Structure 1
Amino acid sequence: MVPMSEHELYPIGDAARRSGLSVSAVRFYADAGIITPTDRNGTGHRLYDIGAIARLELVRTLRELDTDLDEIRRLLEGGTTLHDLLTTHLAIVERQEHTLRARRAVLRTLIEQGGGTAAQADLMHRLVSMTDEEREQTVDDFWNGVGEGLDVPEGFVDRLRAMRPVLPAEPTADQLKAWIELADLLRDPGFRTAVRDYLRLTYSTDIGRTVASPDFQEFVHESGSAIMKEVMALRREGEPPRSPRAQEAVVRFMEAANGLSGTPLTAQVRDRMADGFRRLVDIERMIAEEDAASEGPVYDDTQGRYLALVARINGTGEEQESDPLLYSWLADAMAAPAGG
């Protein structure tokens, strides 16, 4: 197609072809006063400049989105520039693209679920079409309900609330699917009660209060987390547990962890921490067995499920290293030197 000139006038056939409309549609919008053509020579022939053609293309897009003529007229009578019109057009196309992605996610989810009902499809579409503000409010409403009157250390529920889903501007199908599942759970009173019961049972005990305390949580998620990532990186690189590099990082981690209780890192403390990691495999197996036998809420179905879905939505899910070789490496690194 020949490039358009900003100052040239085009006959109605060209205007129709370039805007994607039929000639009769272009004539209709002219008669309705939506797009006014130019009659430069007084011949009665309708001519359109580049601005009018851009307006026609915008009108076509708006009509495809079921925008009524009065709304279109109000937009076009706002004295907008060509740049503003093109910017508006782009925003509309991007919203349309978002809607199509949302519909695709809904259809894929329904197909995987074996069909579903019209009501389920409508609910899913509304969930993925929510604005950022609506998503934020949904999360806040959930945690407000969970935390109301809950007897756990101050600030613990707010820390969980801060771990919230942030759906990107161009989410993948898996991120949309995870948001559909999470949004459905956040609106489920049964899930809210289960999370609340799990937090109450887990973090109202003496040990649970220690774990949920602000100092411990800050260490796990801030300073201690950074050091542990260094340790994990060294292990993945194949660094021997007793090498100077591994010992420097592991000792820093143990000193920081032990500092929470205000006691020095002695050889005895190091050996106790090492023994703890050696027992970790048995402890994890015991927890899994207890969860399987429990009639009450368990981590994977409550707090853990929320955090796992948030990680999928945010694209931050990391594979957890939890194998005997890892625990053995940490235990060997933490043990006090012979004769120390």
Structure 2
Amino acid sequence: MNDDRLYAIGEVARRTGLSVSAIRFYADAGIVEPAGHTAAGHRLYDVHAIARLEFVGTLRELDAGLDDIRRLLAGGVTLTDLATAHLSRLDERERRIRSRRAVLRTIVKQHTEAEQVILMHKLAGLSDHDRDRLIDDFWNEISDGLDASPAFVDLLRSHRPILPEEPSTEQLEAWIELANLVQDQDFRRAVRQQLHDLCALDGAGVMMAPEMLSAFDRGGAVLQEAHEAQQAGLPSDSARGREIAGRYVEFMRGISGEPDSPEYRRRLAVDVLRVEELHLQSIEEAAAPADPHTRYQSLVSTINGTAQEAAAFMPFAWLSAALSASA
């Protein structure tokens, strides 16, 4: 374009892609005024005004407000400040949209009654503090009078939902379902009865003792080491594999009291494969839970984003091979 030429509004509209009415509106609003007028009073624009109009059009497509654009062009705010503030507003709008989408999908899935819609909308927008208080209230009732060690009760309470700052629709849907469940008295009674029955089983006191729970933590740490070694591509019969196998043997000997021997290690190798079967079974049960506490755990895993991690945690065959190699 010729820097000295003035362009009629129709030509400006063609070059910028803006409508004639939009260009007039920006001029009347004092955002991009014309460079001059014809004798008949028609607006004329130079190349600088056209460039500003294209810039304004881009900002409007990004949903920037007129007041912000006016302040930007007047030098009252920088483009970075404007973009930062606008991005924050868009992020908040996106969070609200995800929340509404989750509520609507839950309504469709559960054939929700009209009176429950308001509650669902409130549940989706609860603060971190309110969510914690809701879960604490649930576990306070469930664990009251439970014949179990404080360590076991703490372990139960520790598996709680932590909704991320930017949850997916799936995570929000899981939270809405969980929040509804933990407030439902029938669900509370079912979980409470299930845990009381568990604590009444023969040998439950020994399995739930702090010493045993601590031992399970150590066993879990060894399994995590095996998982990391497998993910790193280390052979099960490598020096690292034999070291991890030895640590697992020491862990199991602390529980069983049996002496270390090649036969003991081969038996553990078979037992570990049985653990793998149980792990796969637990994943299947989480996908289609048959009992209330499993449903609670499944929803928490979805909310916390750990469901896929649990499915990918398969170090058992690797550890079994390491135990066999070490025997």
> What TM-score does the superposition give when structure 1 sets the normalisation length?
0.60
Structure 1: how far apart are the matches of 2:311 and 2:89? 41
Distance 1:336 1:99, change over 3 A: closer
Q: 1:145 maps to which residue? A: 141
Q: 2:295 maps to which residue? A: 305
Indicate conservation of the 8 Å contact 1:191/1:302, yes or no: yes
Distance 1:219 1:150, change over 3 A: same
Distance 1:235 1:144, change over 3 A: same
Q: 1:108 maps to which residue? A: 105
- Describe the SS at the equivalent of 1:312: helix
Structure 2: how far apart are the matches of 1:259 and 1:210? 14
Q: 1:183 Cα shift?
A: 0.8
Q: What amino acid does structure 2 have at the position aligned with 1:232?
A: H
Distance 1:172 1:226, change over 3 A: same
Which ranges in structure 2 are unaligned for 5 or more consecutive residues? Answer: 1-27, 33-66, 72-76
Q: 1:334 Cα shift?
A: 2.4
Of residues 148, 152, 155, the one that matches 2:151 is: 155
Q: 1:268 Cα shift?
A: 4.9
Distance 1:271 1:126, change over 3 A: same
Structure 2: how far apart are the matches of 1:165 and 1:206? 31
Of residues 161, 175, 191, the one that matches 1:179 is: 175
Q: What amino acid does structure 2 have at the position aligned with 1:226?
A: A
Q: 2:223 maps to which residue? A: 228
Q: What amino acid does structure 2 have at the position aligned with 1:333?
A: A
The answer to whether 1:253 aligns with 2:248 is yes
Structure 2: how far apart are the matches of 1:229 and 1:287? 18
Structure 1: how far apart are the matches of 2:244 and 2:156? 28
Distance 1:104 1:334, change over 3 A: same
Q: 1:277 maps to which residue? A: 272
Indicate conservation of the 8 Å contact 2:99/2:172, yes or no: yes
Q: What amino acid does structure 1 have at the position aligned with 2:251?
A: A
Q: 2:13 maps to which residue? A: none
Indicate conservation of the 8 Å contact 1:203/1:211, yes or no: no
Q: 1:330 Cα shift?
A: 3.7
Which ranges in structure 1 are unaligned for 5 or more consecutive residues? Answer: 1-12, 18-52, 58-81, 292-297
Indicate conservation of the 8 Å contact 2:163/2:304, yes or no: yes
Indicate conservation of the 8 Å contact 2:152/2:208, yes or no: yes
Distance 1:159 1:279, change over 3 A: closer
CA displacement, residues 43-96 of structure 1 (integer Å, 9 cap, x when unaligned): xxxxxxxxxx57xx9xxxxxxxxxxxxxxxxxxxxxxxx9xxx99999777655
- Describe the SS at the equivalent of 2:240: helix
Q: 1:133 maps to which residue? A: 129
Indicate conservation of the 8 Å contact 1:152/1:204, yes or no: no
Indicate conservation of the 8 Å contact 2:235/2:241, yes or no: yes
Worse overlay, 228-237 or 92-101:
92-101
RMSD between aligned residues: 4.3
> What TM-score does the superposition give when structure 2 sets the normalisation length?
0.62
Structure 1: how far apart are the matches of 2:182 and 2:269? 40
Indicate conservation of the 8 Å contact 1:255/1:264, yes or no: no
Distance 1:316 1:329, change over 3 A: closer
Q: 1:46 maps to which residue? A: none
Q: 1:219 Cα shift?
A: 3.8
Q: 1:175 Cα shift?
A: 0.6
- Describe the SS at the equivalent of 2:269: helix
Q: 2:209 maps to which residue? A: 213
Q: 1:284 Cα shift?
A: 8.0
Q: What amino acid does structure 1 have at the position aligned with 2:116?
A: Q
The answer to whether 1:196 aligns with 2:185 is no
Distance 1:280 1:213, change over 3 A: same
The answer to whether 1:316 aligns with 2:300 is no
Structure 2: how far apart are the matches of 1:314 and 1:148? 26
Of residues 312, 320, 325, the one that matches 1:331 is: 320
CA displacement, residues 242-297 of structure 1 (integer Å, 9 cap, x when unaligned): 33321111211221343356665444543442342355578789999xx9xxxxxx
CA displacement, residues 160-196 of structure 1 (integer Å, 9 cap, x when unaligned): 2122111111111011011011111111112222222
Indicate conservation of the 8 Å contact 2:237/2:325, yes or no: no
CA displacement, residues 73-122 of structure 1 (integer Å, 9 cap, x when unaligned): xxxxxxxxx9xxx9999977765543332112111222344x53322322
Q: What count of residue pairs does the alignment treat as equivalent?
A: 257
Distance 1:237 1:91, change over 3 A: closer
Structure 2: how far apart are the matches of 1:130 and 1:92? 19
